[in-house]
Structure 1
Amino acid sequence: MTIIANTLEKTAIGNPVSLEQLVMFPLLGPAASEPGYITLDEAIARGVAEVKEVSASGSVPEARFINKGDKPVFLMDGEELIGARQNRVLNLSILVNAHSEVTIPVSCVEAGRWHYESPEFRSAPRTLFAEGRARKADQVSECLVRFAARRSNQSEIWEQIHQKSLSLETHSATGAMDEIYERHQLSLRDYEQAMQPVDGQTGALFFIGPSLISLDLFDCEATLRAMLPKVVQGNALDALDCTRRRLKPPAPTLEQARTFLNEVAAAPVETYPAIGMGQDLRIRGGTLTGGGLDVDGRLVHLYAFRLTEEGRQDGAVFRHTRVMRASRRYRPPQA
């Protein structure tokens, strides 16, 4: 039995909560009493972490993380970093050991800027929207198989952000994803308020109607409480998109939630040495995609998604994989 299957076997599903089209099923225990690490937000607030460009000239798919503290720092898949030469999101979950430095794989979520806004990145109160996280996870898994690298299809991510901005009627001079969130912040905060953590909650399943959009499961209740607002915002943006298009799908059932957990538990898992601590787990089979982080037999984070029909482009995703120079960066098409 894999560590994912073993963990999910011990995970219960709580009563769902919902707002508009978005439904959250809380996932309950088991959980370690103390995480033994701190989150990125905590590390930056304490002044024990720095996130910078890898050099003065920068590199689109990479950033440099410096942990100056006495505890490991957890960086979550899809978490957004604001500032430096351009905004980025994490390509996967990473646990960086105390007093160490690593180069972290990232994707750009601001196509039209390549100049310093600040010397360092700061963390944002959100993740990449769920549909984007799903495709990115699948691309990273394919890139690992093909090229032993953890990169996304950057042009596709920029295009997804462009399409999301059109759908949600948001304009950004630099194609920045964070401006979509800021434009709809009042509505997104309503989702945050509606989807508060319950006692014993260590994870969450999110549905829009009967369609599963994401699963995030952590090893500690404290980590879930710290990360849930960011996760809710990422899922809520997709739900808001659905609501604005006046779609009214039927509500999901508990059986659908159980079925998805069973599918994830049974899915094939590939294991790679992680960046930082532990083992990088990759899930990729059928319509499932995702990943996880196993550190010393402890599933620090599990994330999984169901891809839409157009979400996977086997054999074509990395046909053009060379990283473009800043002067040749993709610019989203004008509306």
Structure 2
Amino acid sequence: MRGARLHRYREPLRLDELPEPAVLAPNDVIVRVGGAGLCRTDLHIQEGQWAEKSGVELPYVLGHENAGWVEEVGAAVDNVAVGDAVIVHPLVTCGLCRACRIGDDVHCENSSFPGITVDGGFAELLRTTARSLVKLDAGLDPKDVAALADAGLTAYHVVAKAARIVRPGSHVVVIGAGGLGHIGIQCLRAMTPAEVIVLDPSERALALASELGADHAVPVDGSHVERVRELTDGRGAEAVIDFVGEHGIIPDGVAMLRDAGSYFVVGYGENVDVPTIDIISREISFIGNLVGSWDDLAELMTLTRQGKVTLHTTAYPLDAVNDAMADLDDGRVQGRAILVPAGAGG
């Protein structure tokens, strides 16, 4: 099979001929990839930011947002069958540790992370396990939903947290209306009564945000902090969801937060640098977010089936992986870039 592998950090990926993955354990499932989403994490991996944290050995196949069709199953698999369309939870989890048993499988003590710590889905076939799969409802095409496996899952996960603290009359600021942000806006509309304020430097992204239900679309133009303060009657927002986490936006996001508000960190690349006395005196909270659980993914797919969440995508063939990476890096992708292996089909 063909797969796009990273051979050296800070170099383009290479399309290689690779052995097909095999079923090695009773719960293993081989998925024929119908779509694999690109993520800024893939850019960070390519840049070497994850080298020490992941401990992965090069070369390996990237791609952690995957959907497709079941190609082969292990002897103990009975929740999916060959030919089923599925979306793949990004983690392979054990199901036995305490985190898994309480439904917090994103913190599984024995997990692997295809596309980050082992071979992922920028290929024609992917090995995962039955525990990681959510069957797709009829009418959902893997290439149209693949990025929901991480971008959508992460956006749903953070909105589910924010939904616990916002009430009618609350304001939520969304920083970034790109691949994650445009899904987060839809989740906020579906799951909360909050008034949604979206910030982005791109007019196209802001237009999309308005189309998806944002109450206010604010350009990042130097006056955005003041504008948000005006929209919140000078108090600031109950929640700020930062899908960017870089380009100097974090201090602005903190300035938009009301006292006793919560800052949800999703995007990354820079540091949160806030004096501890400000955290104490304002009683503000900073909350990290790393993808979401299998339950989160199943619930997100329910919203997708109901038409409450849709994914804006741009498709690329697998052999154009480096074009897709460059377009993502340069901000030319609206929504999410999806790699579609040649011949992918149900």
User: TM-score by structure 1 length?
Assistant: 0.27
Relative contact order (C-alpha < 8 Å, sep 6+): which is higher? Answer: 1
> Which structure is larger by alpha-carbon Rg, 1 or 2?
2
User: TM-score by structure 2 length?
Assistant: 0.27
